[in-house]
Structure 1
Amino acid sequence: MSLALDAPAPIGFGEKIWRINWGLVLVLTAIAGVGVLALYSAAGGRFEPWAARHAVRYGAAFGLMLVVALIHPKVWLTLAWPIYIVSMLLLVAVDVVGKIGMGAQRWLMIGPMQIQPSEIAKVAVILVLARYYHGLRREEASKFLYTLPPLAVILAPVALVMVQPDLGTAMMVLLGGGALLFVAGVRLWMFLAAAIAAVGCLPIAWSFMHEYQRKRVLTFLDPDRDPLGAGYHITQSKIAIGSGGLFGKGFLKGTQSSLNFLPEKQTDFIFTTYVEEWGMAGALVLLFLFALVLVWGFSIALRSQHHFGRLVALGVTAMMFLYVFINTAMVMGLLPVVGVPLPLVSNGGTAMVSVMFACGLLIGVNVYRDAQLPLRR
């Protein structure tokens, strides 16, 4: 029987809409709603300057997500390298003419817009790695020589992001890329060798770190060494989380946030702002919503009949997990403070758009789960 006869019939627009995982869409909207509440509270019971913008950004990003979800995966297979190259050029531009803020050069001004290209690079790496391994056989993916190109794809943006410096995003790109290599079939001994090499390079990495980054690591190891300096952020965060108790102090009643003891309460420490008011119960509800996103992500990956979609879904799911794990562990003192936002909750336009774009790719894998894609390298 010919391939033309074996190929599945094209699905109509109505069926595409039906295949959108509306449960996942609802959960993402609920998480963004939590973000609006938390940012409203962080501003002292005002929609400006954060909550209103967050809601508008989510509305625009929501439309983008649906458009991305309805685009055939073969388009993203074709655009993977162009998107990656553009993201790399933007990262280079940041290092040359980027805007400096809060001691780092991470933003690029394009007209009236301020974007953070490192957020775009996270999704670009997922697309390129998924395309690369889509064109390999399983036995090829496990060979060392075939691992060198994807390593270059991962390490190039990591190096450019470290220059900014942005340790948190560099960690996410590195760990997210590593997760994709693992599910693509790279042998375990390669990861062990990389881990040993990384440990051996720690003294070199330490010498290249900025002074404030060293202080953050030392504060993580000994939180009480500088409670009014490098340890101030995490000390205030722990106080806020602990004072929230089981059910929290109540909406708009968080003292650490309202009295401005908590730094960066609208971005990196938004989870702390939320937990102080809603307590452990509220934290568990929010983490449960994120867990649903991860479960749906794995489910979509398992249902995909093409390797590209499977890898994209797993890459997006790994990215979401790293966002949530690093941010929540960071504000609780389980990891050094590295500046990773909580997706759809923290204030930030580029992060919002990149996360929703990635979720659109994830939903699109489900819409076109039985598509037949050409093999490309």
Structure 2
Amino acid sequence: MQENDVKPREARAKVIGELNTSIKQCLDLVITSVGNVEASQGTLYFSKPDHPRDFEFNVLSSGEKEVIDLLLDLYLRREDYDDSVFLIDEPELHINTSIQGCLLTEMDRLVGPNCQIWITTHSIGFLKALQTQMRDRCQIIQFRGDLNLASTVQTLKPLEPSPSAWRELFAVALDDLATLVAPKTIIYCEGRDTPGKAGSEKGMDAQALNAIFNHNKPETMFISSGGNTELDQRSAVAIAILSKVFPNIEILVFKDRDMASGKAVDENDRQVYLKTNPQNYRVMKRFEIENYLYDKEVLVAYCSANGLTFDEASYDKLVTDVVNQNLKDVTGQIKNLCGIKASINAETFKVALAHHFDQGMEVYKELYACVFDRA
């Protein structure tokens, strides 16, 4: 009112309007009045669609009060603290799970582009929001039980998002209910079908594909299911069983381009295969997964990130047809072209390359289209 030289009712309308914009994103409430501020008798009054009259702040539930308090605090501080870090300890304690994700998104909007929010949380709602709509705007540090945080120096690093990492985080929030957290899409691919410790994925193809798409497809999980014929059999069984238990789950089959059991297959053969098989089947455009992992874009990114010098001229002589050439057999030479002198397991090298895919790369776009668009 004083700063803008406006009437009290105009100042109230502006403040109430801006606050209600935030509150409506989280609660079925609106502020109707701020009381008599000029007489030092200010208080918040609210209305609800199913309530016959306005009511004061003290009538709200503890969860509603928590949401209003957080939004009001951030709103009032947004101009004075426009280059700040806001520390909030477990804001979910009294807040309904369905509201938590909306609250986190709105809090992020209120603090502005030059600020950060640091939150400690065990919340399912907050974790879900971080996993989905805020995945490009957040980093997560997991305080594991095996760290002696109170007595030793620790270097804390952001968690690399992956299906296994998200399962571990949700396990903390859900305790023994963690097994109920299921991916929306399961994609069966070729590779070692024997699980590792605690059911971990041992198949290289699945590990690589999970690493490639973890960030943009966090609710998708690639699972190795043996060779070509096992892939058909096991995926059919999974569809028959899982579709009854989880009716909303999608199950896809992603095959190497040698789906003709070793016979030469070109793009026309691939298209014919797609047209004559169920809609949940997908086929690589390139010969096999190595033809994507050993793409020049990926190798350059890997070498740059690891301080290695990539021998592009020798690569161009070796890889003359990245789509059709059998590149699995030249893995040793590919490592040499990257300047790797130390001994490194072939599968470890391939999975490491997968972590350097970027959605701006043409090879990423091609692989994404094969898997998710059935191109």
TM range (shorter): under 0.3
TM-score (norm 1): 0.25
Q: Which has the higher strand share?
A: 2
Q: Which has the higher helix share?
A: 1
TM-score (norm 2): 0.25
Larger Rg computed on CA atoms: 2
